[in-house]
Amino acid sequence: MSKKNKDFVEKVTAMEEDFSQWYTDVVKQAELVDYGPVRGTMIIRPYGYAIWENIQGEFDRQFKETGHTNVYFPLFIPESMLQKEKDHIEGFAPEVAWVTHGGDEELEERIVVRPTSEVLFGEYYSKNIHSYRDLPKLYNQWANVVRWEKTTRPFLRTSEFLWQEGHTCHATKEEAEHETRQMLDVYADVCENFLAIPVLKGKKTEKEKFAGAEYTLTIESMMHDGRALQSGTSHYLGTGFAEAFDIQYLDKEGKQQYVHQTSWGVSTRIMGALIMVHGDNRGLVVPPRVAPTQAMIVPIAQHKEGVLDKAYELRDRLKDIVRVDIDASDKMPGWKFNEYEMKGIPVRIEMGPRDIENNLVVLVRRDTGEKEFVAMDDLAERLPALLEEIQQHLYESALKHRENMTSVAKTMDEFKQILDEKGGFIKAMWCGNIECEEKIKEDTTATSRCIPFDQEHISDTCVCCGEKAKEMVYWSKAY
Amino acid sequence: MSKKNKDFVEKVTAMEEDFSQWYTDVVKQAELVDYGPVRGTMIIRPYGYAIWENIQGEFDRQFKETGHTNVYFPLFIPESMLQKEKDHIEGFAPEVAWVTHGGDEELEERIVVRPTSEVLFGEYYSKNIHSYRDLPKLYNQWANVVRWEKTTRPFLRTSEFLWQEGHTCHATKEEAEHETRQMLDVYADVCENFLAIPVLKGKKTEKEKFAGAEYTLTIESMMHDGRALQSGTSHYLGTGFAEAFDIQYLDKEGKQQYVHQTSWGVSTRIMGALIMVHGDNRGLVVPPRVAPTQAMIVPIAQHKEGVLDKAYELRDRLKDIVRVDIDASDKMPGWKFNEYEMKGIPVRIEMGPRDIENNLVVLVRRDTGEKEFVAMDDLAERLPALLEEIQQHLYESALKHRENMTSVAKTMDEFKQILDEKGGFIKAMWCGNIECEEKIKEDTTATSRCIPFDQEHISDTCVCCGEKAKEMVYWSKAY
């Protein structure tokens, strides 16, 4: 904690005034990140990392539950290896960092700092898969990756970020497609049930899919300011990498077959969603299930006899039930209130001499600000229930916001008017041609977010060209 | 698992024949690692990574128990920042990887891929520490680092490796020195009580200390072949980095003071120690506390009615007590025995039709090969006890080996004879001059491993120059 934050907590800019500044203020004031010395890199500070560790833990648990094992592949990729899959290199070459020297010597071949690891896994699988009995391979890794971005923002777009990347091989298209969808469902489940972020599930258009994939599935969430954020993607790679890297297996009939592959990833970007879906003008709001500290005890008039003893006693009684902490520092209670509101700790527990006399504490919800008096003996029951209510309330508020921010457009005039007036998701029909997709982006800066699994029939014709519509697409300005 | 290992398990070279080849065979046959495409990098495969995850878990638990929090600092360091601490850059410059281009553009300033992160933490602390109330700072990160090594071996010396690096700031020298020692003790505790690897604790000589430290504490362990392996180091940095990066705080008297720092690290290198301390000519031996699978059920004549049902039933009964798995594949039991011996799984549980009839199973210890018949009803009690016996036995065997491999030398003739005949640790007196240390290395290739905290008086004079001895040193050839 910096001196600044020990002495006073600065206010954040109101989000209605300047959303971008609000975001920057929150990540700084809530002590989530700091800027690294190399452009676009970030330092994830203790509080930010503790949240990330909890997110990691939940994803990792579900990956293992669905049969995946963790591995670690190298940071470095030889240039020639990255070039084996043509679409892939075209997609990534403009944004990679190049290592050209080791110690004093110039390298014979330039090395890429991994922007993603499909090619490394491809090479490995090629050597290690021989028979149908070697399948499926269900690998995941937690790693840092580097993409040399021009404009960067903490969590949302950074030159280096942390993520997990799953890479799997399967005997058949059906199995690989099942895996692609299964992992998207895992992502959606963690977002909705752990992070309280409602998501839309769907498929990316050809234009927006991963470089080298047959198709990309995505989950999309809606931020406070009406922009969408892609929160996780799962790619069906088909046999493209298998052909480029010669990953074949002998099937039960003794025939050589290419494997079908998937890859899927979620990154520290999701921290940006957490901030922009739940935060408010008093700072961060962390849903209870992901919160490193779920309840913070703030003693009032702690110099008075018995107050601190009682506070520690309460902490000890609660600590196996919820993640509880106590701030017994010599700061004023008001400063402590501000600090933990800024950090978005779900519940504050106030207890002063009079409360103790009455065998009561005050619970203050971060999300609504509501206070309630609870008898100390009831706390072990009431506190977990309250945390659950907060979790649900955050999800429902976010869902309501998304619903409010979802509109329908049948013409480009409507489309533009919605974008100008409120932003958010626009449901509109599309002919399937990339020309219309590009024109919409050019005219409005909105992009296709996904072709949702849950299709609706809005009209018969493409919102852009007026030709026969193929499917409904969610459009939005996006991070 | 590669086809090779599904069809048959290759033998490993006998360690007495060629220790280095034995090591290479074990890491490959036990499916711990594979080579990455860039020289000196490694792929940590599922089984190797599962062991590493368990090691990480135990260290992380103890770091948190001692008040440390995790953070993440960037991979990239600007060249000018690395140069701020003179000794540090001199120590690391020859072995760093340089990033010179981002996308198509040449960078204005070259970037170092972190070989360690003292300077990044230094810069951060400089900005974030102001008052004594900001202290101590107790940060740790789990990360990959890169050192451009000329000769590499899996786990022992790789261009990229995984590690944790702790970086702390304290108000006083005493506190920082206490931290330095405390973290060494944590390392020693995990090595001895979790990994069953006995370690010597002591201080590095000036020559062998970390570039930029006041002094370095180390734990040293003894491999099967008589070579030592540095298994973890903890550095007292003094105020060197604080002065280079201007990390000052206002003390209680209102005076500016430099902070006192420490840093400490353990890496995937420790996997090498695990292999070379416990392994044997049948492959890896994993101590039960760190083993991803502690007991493997191998059904015998599994095609016979009831065998598999009973095996799964047993697995379900045991799975909350120990980490148990079952191999119900169609491989022959003999192949399975070999495979799990190669992987060093502590206990094999055999159960065939006759055993089931008699309500028995056979437990086979990986370490000694001993078999015992155990009544099924007693397993829930016997199996954890057996695992504990194995854990203790591995530790005691390793300790006995180290004791057998520890000698005393009073003269250089004795010193050389011991090295030629058996290797191991040599306890010998030293005058404290770097000239003698360098001469010993030049003449024998043995290096000073540590000045142990537990000093003994071997003789009055330096083993090398015959001048007055200052202290006893452990010497050894080392990895």
What phi-psi label fits residue A43: left (phi over 0), alpha (psi between -120 and 50 degrees) or beta? Answer: beta
Contact B124 A43 (CB under 8 A): yes
B143/A139 touch (CB, cutoff 8 Å), yes or no: no
Burial classification of residue A159, based on how many CB atoms lie within 10 Å of its CB (0-12 exposed, 13-18 middle, 19 or more buried): buried
**B168 contacts in chain A (CB < 8 Å):** none
Where in chain A are the domains? Answer: 3-278, 295-386, 406-476
Closest Cα in chain B, distance from residue A388 (Å): 27
The two tokens of residue A10 are 């600065």
pLDDT band at A10 (very low <50, low <70, confident <90, very high): low
B123 and A81: CB-CB below 8 Å? no
Nearest by CB to residue A160, choosing from B34, B71, B75, is B75
Q: What is the pLDDT of residue B99?
A: 97
Give the residue ranges of chain B where pLDDT is below 70.
Answer: 1-10
Vertex B316: Cα angle to B312 and B321 (nearest 5): 135
The DSSP annotation for B7-34 comes to H--PPPPPTTT-HHHHHHHHHHHTT-EE
B76-78 and B105-113 strand pairing:
antiparallel
Residue A337: how many other CB atoms lie within 10 Å: 18
Residue numbers in A near B3 (CB within 8 A): 129-131, 133-134
B146/A contact by beta carbon, under 8 A:
yes
Contacts of B330 in chain A (CB under 8 A): none
Contacts A78 to B, Cβ<8 Å: 37-38
Q: What is the mean pLDDT of residues A452-460?
A: 97
**Taking 50 as the threshold, does the pLDDT of residue A7 lie above it?**
no
Q: Does A429 touch chain B (CB under 8 A)?
A: no
Q: What is the pLDDT of residue B1?
A: 36
Rounded (to 5) percent helix, strand, coil in chain B: 35, 30, 35
How many interface pairs between A and B have CB atoms less than 8 angstroms apart?
A: 187
In contact, B152 and B271? CB cutoff 8 Å = no
Asked if A320 is an interface residue toward chain B (Cβ–Cβ < 8 A), one would say no
Establish if A61 touches chain B: CB-CB under 8 angstroms: no
- To the nearest whole Å, the CA of A100 is away from the closest chain B CA by 6
Residue A3 confidence (pLDDT): 39
Distance (Å, whole) CA B196 – CA B364:
20
Q: Does A111 touch chain B (CB under 8 A)?
A: yes
Amino acid at B231: S
| Distances in whole angstroms, Cα of residue B336 to Cα of each of B7, B8, B296, B383 | 10, 9, 10, 20
Residue in A233, A318, A319 with CA at minimum distance from that of residue A269: A233
The pLDDT > 70 percentage for chain A reads 98
Q: Domain B295-386 sits in which CATH superfamily?
A: Anticodon-binding domain (3.40.50.800)
**DSSP letter string, A332-383:** -HHHHHHHHHHTT-SEEEEE-HHHHHTTEEEEEETTT--EEEEEGGGHHHHH
User: Looking at beta carbons, which residues of chain B come within 8 Å of A97?
Assistant: 76, 99, 101-102, 111
The answer, for A99 touching chain B at a CB cutoff of 8 Å, is yes
Q: Do B98 and A102 touch (CB under 8 A)?
A: yes
| Amino acid A9: pLDDT | 54
Out of 1.10.10.10, 3.30.110.30, 3.30.70.20, 3.30.365.10, select the CATH number for domain A406-476. Answer: 3.30.110.30
Cα–Cα distance, B386 to B369 (Å, whole number): 13
Q: pLDDT tens-digit profile of A309-321?
A: 999 999 999 999 9
Residue B38 to residue A98, Cβ atoms within 8 A: no
pLDDT one-digit tens code per residue, A130-163: 999 999 999 999 999 999 988 899 999 999 999 9
Distance CA A401, CA A405 (A): 6
Give contacts of A57 with chain B, Cβ < 8 Å: none
Confidence of residue A419 (pLDDT cuts 50, 70, 90): very high
Q: Where are the beta strands (DSSP E) in B188-255?
A: 200-203, 215-222, 228-238, 248-250
Interhelix angle A269-278/A46-65, nearest 10 degrees = 110
A225-257: per-residue pLDDT in tens?
A: 999 999 999 999 999 999 999 999 999 999 999
Chain A residues touching B144 at Cβ < 8 A: 75, 143-144
Distance from CA of B64 to the nearest CA of A (A): 12
Say if the Cβ atoms of A94 and B104 lie within 8 Å. yes
Q: Tell me which chain B residues have a C-beta less than 8 angstroms from the C-beta of A146.
A: 75-76
CA distance A230 to A286: 20
CB of B182 less than 8 A from some CB of A: no
User: For residue B6, what pLDDT is reported?
Assistant: 43
Q: Considering Cα of A459, then A463, then A467, then A473, what sign does the dihedral take?
A: negative
Region A401-408: mean pLDDT is 98
Q: Which CATH superfamily is domain B9-75+117-278 in?
A: Bira Bifunctional Protein; Domain 2 (3.30.930.10)
CATH (residue range A3-278): 3.30.930.10
| pLDDT for residue A1 is more than 50 | no
Q: How confident is the model at residue A85 (pLDDT cuts 50, 70, 90)?
A: confident
Structure tokens belonging to residue A13: 């800019």
pLDDT of residue B91: 82
Tokens of A73: 């592949």
> pLDDT for A56-80, tens place per residue?
999 999 999 999 999 999 999 999 9
* CA distance, residue B385 to nearest chain A CA (Å): 28
Percent of chain B scored above 70 by pLDDT? 98
**Separation of alpha carbons A261 and A359, rounded Å:** 61
Contact A43 B131 (CB under 8 A): no
Residue A284, CA atoms < 13 Å, CB-side half-sphere: 30
- Residues of A within 8 A of B35 (CB-CB) are none
Q: Is B212 left (phi over 0), alpha (psi -120 to 50) or beta?
A: left
Q: Could you give the CA distance from residue B157 to residue B174 in angstroms, rounded to a whole number?
A: 34
Q: What is the mean pLDDT of chain A?
A: 95
Which DSSP string do the residues of A274-310 spell out, in sequence order?
HHHHH-BTTB----TTT-S-SEEEEESSTTSTTHHHH
pLDDT tens per residue across span B126-144: 999 999 999 999 999 999 9
pLDDT value for A186: 98
